[in-house]
Amino acid sequence: MIQASIITIGDELLIGQVIDTNSAWIAQQLNAIGVPVKRRVAVGDTWDAIWEALDEEGKHSDIILITGGLGPTADDITKPLLCKYFNGKMVRDEKVLAHVKHLFEQVFRRPWIERNAQQADVPDTCTVLFNSVGTAPGMMFEKEGKVFISMPGVPFEMQTIMREHVLKLLPERFKMAHIAHRTLLTAGIGESFLAERIKDFEEKLPSNIKLAYLPSYGMVRLRLTDTGYDVDAIEKEINEQFAILQTLIPDVLVTNIDEPMETVVGKLLLSKKQTVGTAESCTGGYIAHLITSHAGSSGYFKGSVVSYDNDVKTDLLGVTNETLQTTGAVSEETVTQMVKGALQQLKTDYAVAVSGIMGPDGGSAEKPVGTVWVAVGNHKKITTQKLWFRYERKRNIELTAINALNLLRKFILENS
């Protein structure tokens, strides 16, 4: 079976200054067209490291996708290296040059400097993959039957070159396998217990189907993967197994699509033509951000009051000073009043409210860091939950948001 390696180039990856999101995106796209990714490698901006990576990945895989190291500045050595590695000489591509000049003059509206013209220089042994949205072109090389494709590291440019060229070229060049994935999301059960419950199912799975457990945010995703050349047979087989799997865990199943919790909630609200708003203290707008990061969320999300300061809790959400003084901002009473305030102010069918201590400071013996109160409700009923997370600030915020959305999901299912 055809396999791919992804090489990402850049010192910033090796000192941890930048998180590599390109590799995940590329891997998703390659899997979708039937190219499994065997390895992902990140190396620095040094000649030897890049050269070795090309040598090694050329042995491991048939398709080697390379990102990064193509910018206009002096820390980029990838292009000259590729020129030498593939025995070429550098030539100026007139179409690319015209495009780069156009971008500077018409789009960026910045003066032209000669350094920019170098973006149009390419090895004469490559096929240029035109970059319609940026200055650095993609380049495709062949060596001993292996295909090497170099793209800029800017995510938007890389993605455009992938969509406009790479994902079309590869299926013409190689015979692709069919890879089918099915993923479901569970909540309220640990990895080990889930494994116990579906042990028999797992043992009886056909050998070409893999089952993976993916824990995230206190939930566990289960993924089946089936690979082969007979598309219909693969699809039939995985659908059958996926249907069986779902019947084994109906009580903890959140969704049988690989989608985030906020999308599950969004679809539920859309189907009922209802709306939600949030009143957020400790999550500081993160729940609203999760919801609105998806197109179409204006169909069910009206807004949020981020009441980080207690004054905002009283002024905008009607939490009483008495409650804040007697039970504190992190309490069942406060989040209950926040839900009532949000329902009234934002004029929604449902509201969710959170207040907690995300750390690293602010905890006490009675309310340690990670203590969170969540409330969800409609105009008739309000449900509350106390949570306790033992992680660092960022993860506590994320876990609070996902758990609040899950509580909202269950509330909608039970009360609509």
Q: Is residue 284 part of the contact set for a copy of itself (CB under 8 A)?
A: yes
The count of other CB atoms within 10 Å of the CB of residue 358 is: 25
Residue 146's identity, in one-letter code, is K
Nearest to 374 by CA among 330, 321, 322: 330
Measured CA to CA, the distance from residue 337 to residue 318 in angstroms comes to 7
Q: Is residue 345 part of the contact set for a copy of itself (CB under 8 A)?
A: yes
Q: Which is nearer to a copy of itself, 133 or 249 (CB)?
A: 133
- Angle (CA) 253-33-19 rounded to 5° is 70
Among 87, 216, 321, 326, binds a copy of itself (CB under 8 A): 216
Only one of the segments 87-95, 246-254, 333-341, 345-353 lies at the binding site for a copy of itself (rule: CB under 8 A); that segment is 345-353
Measured CA to CA, the distance from residue 348 to residue 393 in angstroms comes to 30
Measured CA to CA, the distance from residue 3 to residue 144 in angstroms comes to 15
Cis, bond preceding 215 (omega within 30 deg of 0): no
Q: Which is nearer to a copy of itself, 336 or 348 (CB)?
A: 348
Measured CA to CA, the distance from residue 300 to residue 99 in angstroms comes to 42
Q: What single DSSP character describes residue 109?
A: -
Q: Is residue 323 part of the contact set for a copy of itself (CB under 8 A)?
A: no
Please list, in sequence order, all residues whose beta carbon lies within 8 angstroms of the beta carbon of residue 411, skipping any fewer than 6 positions away. 350, 376, 377, 378, 383
- State which of positions 77-96 bind a copy of itself (CB under 8 A): none
The CA-based dihedral angle spanning residues 305, 308, 311, 313, taken in that order and rounded to the nearest 10 degrees? 40
Measured CA to CA, the distance from residue 335 to residue 337 in angstroms comes to 5
Q: Is residue 302 part of the contact set for a copy of itself (CB under 8 A)?
A: yes
Among 33, 77, 177, 195, binds a copy of itself (CB under 8 A): 195
Q: Is residue 151 part of the contact set for a copy of itself (CB under 8 A)?
A: no
- The tokens for 241 are 């197994």
Q: What single DSSP character describes residue 106?
A: I
Q: Which is nearer to a copy of itself, 251 or 414 (CB)?
A: 251
Q: Is residue 72 part of the contact set for a copy of itself (CB under 8 A)?
A: yes
Q: Which is nearer to a copy of itself, 171 or 215 (CB)?
A: 215
- Name the minimum Å distance from CB 325 to a copy of itself: 18
Q: Which is nearer to a copy of itself, 37 or 335 (CB)?
A: 37
Q: Which is nearer to a copy of itself, 159 or 239 (CB)?
A: 159
Among 105, 191, 230, 240, binds a copy of itself (CB under 8 A): 191
Only one of the segments 140-148, 192-200, 228-236, 371-379 lies at the binding site for a copy of itself (rule: CB under 8 A); that segment is 192-200
Among 138, 359, 370, 377, binds a copy of itself (CB under 8 A): 359
Q: Which is nearer to a copy of itself, 91 or 312 (CB)?
A: 312
Instruction: Mark residues 383-402: x for contact with a copy of itself by CB under 8 A, - for none.
Output: -------xxxxxx-x-----
Only one of the segments 61-69, 214-222, 245-253, 261-269 lies at the binding site for a copy of itself (rule: CB under 8 A); that segment is 214-222
Q: Is residue 210 part of the contact set for a copy of itself (CB under 8 A)?
A: yes
For residue 267, give the 3-state DSSP assignment.
Answer: helix
Q: Which is nearer to a copy of itself, 53 or 407 (CB)?
A: 53
Strand order in the sheet with 219-228: 209-216, 219-228, 178-187, 253-255
The count of other CB atoms within 10 Å of the CB of residue 143 is: 14
Q: Is residue 347 part of the contact set for a copy of itself (CB under 8 A)?
A: yes
Dihedral angle sign, alpha carbons of residues 30, 32, 36, 38: positive
Q: Which is nearer to a copy of itself, 263 or 278 (CB)?
A: 278
Measured CA to CA, the distance from residue 288 to residue 413 in angstroms comes to 20
- State which of positions 8-67 bind a copy of itself (CB under 8 A): 11-21, 23-29, 31, 36-45, 49, 52-53, 56, 60
For residue 410, give the 3-state DSSP assignment.
Answer: helix
Measured CA to CA, the distance from residue 267 to residue 263 in angstroms comes to 6
Q: What single DSSP character describes residue 175?
A: P
- State which of positions 101-140 bind a copy of itself (CB under 8 A): 108, 110, 113, 115-116, 133
Among 70, 96, 140, 154, binds a copy of itself (CB under 8 A): 154
Please list, in sequence order, all residues whose beta carbon lies within 8 angstroms of the beta carbon of residue 167, skipping any fewer than 6 positions away. 29, 33
Instruction: Mark residues 234-273: x for contact with a copy of itself by CB under 8 A, - for none.
Output: ------------------------x---------------
Q: Which is nearer to a copy of itself, 17 or 247 (CB)?
A: 17
The count of other CB atoms within 10 Å of the CB of residue 408 is: 26
Q: Which is nearer to a copy of itself, 125 or 159 (CB)?
A: 159
